[in-house]
Every structure is written in structure tokens, then in C-alpha cells.
Amino acid sequence: GVCDAAGLVASGAPVAPSSLEAMAASSGVVGVSYGVPTDAGDLTSTFPVLGYSLEWEGRALGSVAVSERGTVELGSTVLAWETPGILASGMTIRARVRSRNVAGNGTWTEFVSRGVLVVPDAPMLVSVGSGGQPSPFLRLEWTVPEETGAGTSAADVLTSMTVEVSTSAVFTDGSVSSVTVATSGESSQQVRLGADEGLSLVLGTTYFVRGMLSNEVGSGALSSVASRLS
């Protein structure tokens, strides 16, 4: 074994860190988390780990060539890391981690991978219809934008749409209400806006609507404004 400064004896280098995971941390950023090795040098997880090394690489959407890479040295208490800067949507990030103790570097984990996600572009409003039975309502039809967050127009990346409804075209005067609904995997979708969704609409009133989409990392830009007489 190898003895450290405190007199503790390591029987060998650590096994690979535990519970390695990659996730979308924020728009354009991938995070990596991991736990201490189950055997840090003395068959337990409590033997002192001196630090961690993390290797990562990134490939652009549709490419097999590595366009980003790096090696990061992390402290003994650091169990998470995030990619530097803002990366392009759809890029795939791969990472692996190892720890070290007084006996040397331990075993690498397997690679984990995660696609870079950014907030979606604004939805494209197609039409706004209206009805009056059993109470006034609006029906908004919209289509997904070219960028839903993962470098494509895939609708299944989206989680929800928030629609703002106002009696003012500039959304500063008059009442403004918002409704958030779950999205589906379809490229063209509809949202019903009425009493069942918590809105009190008045017949004969012109309403202005706009919307924004959300995915796992946040909400995107507001759409253009559409209007309809209820």
C-alpha cells in the first residue's frame, strides 16, 4: 500500500467515480455530475480522494468530427462541472471522469453523452379563430419554429407554450392574461383560450394574442401578435 500524509494506507488507486450523469444545465450548456468512488483506495468510499480529472469532447449536429474538447482538473470536493461558454444547439457532448488518491490515478468511467439544448425560437402563429358557445373563446393555431432547441424543428423537444391575451396591441394597456398549456409532438398545434383555461372573454371585444415556447432549459422569444374579434 501507499501511505498518505495522515498515515492512511491506500491499497491501490480508486475505482471509477459513481453515478456519472450528463444533463442540459441551461441554454447552450451541458452539465456533468458524479459521485465519489465506491472504493477510493481502501475498499471504502471514505478514503481521501485528492481530485478528479474530466475529459470532454463535442461534435456538431450531424458531424462525426470532434470540434470541441478539453481536460479539466477538479478539486477533491467538486462533484459537478459545466461546459464553458455557450455551445451550438444540437452539438453532442461526451464526458468521462476519473479520481486520484495518493497511490495514483484511478479508473476512468465510461463516457456519458448529452445533446446541447437552447431555448426555442418563437412559434409561428397561423390563425386565430373564435366562438361563443357555451362562453366566448379563442382558438389559436400555430406551428413549430425551425429551432425548437436541439438544432432542428422537432416538436417533441418542447414542453409547453405560454399564450398572452390582451385588449391592447402593445400589451401594456388593458388587461393581460396568460395561459400555459402542454405541447404535443405535432408540428402544427392548437390552443383553446376561454373560461376553461381561466380567461374571461367578452363578446364583441378585439383580443390580441402572442405566444412563446418552452423546453427543458427555458422559455424562448415571443411571437408576433395576432388579433381576433371575439
pLDDT in tens, 70-85: 999 999 999 999 999 9
Long-range contacts of 142-147 (CB under 8 A, 24+ apart): 142/188, 142/189, 142/190, 142/191, 142/211, 142/223, 143/187, 143/188, 143/189, 144/187, 144/188, 144/189, 144/213, 145/120, 145/121, 145/213, 146/121, 147/89, 147/118, 147/120, 147/121
Instruction: Note the pTM of the prediction, 2 decimals.
Output: 0.87
pLDDT in tens, 182-219: 999 999 999 989 998 888 888 888 999 999 999 999 99
Write down the mean pLDDT value for the chain: 92
DSSP class of residue 110 equals P
The DSSP code sequence of 2-23 is EE-TTS-EESS---PPEEEEEE
CB neighbour class for 6 (10 Å; exposed up to 12, middle 13-18, buried from 19): exposed
| pLDDT band of 3, cuts 50, 70, 90 | low
- Tell me what pLDDT residue 42 has: 85
Strand-strand pairing, 124-131 and 158-166: unpaired
Q: Does the pLDDT value for residue 178 go beyond 70?
A: yes
The residue behind cell 379563430 is 129
Q: What is the CA radius of gyration of the chain?
A: 25
- Tell me what pLDDT residue 11 has: 80
How many angstroms separate the CA atoms of 228 and 127, rounded? 9
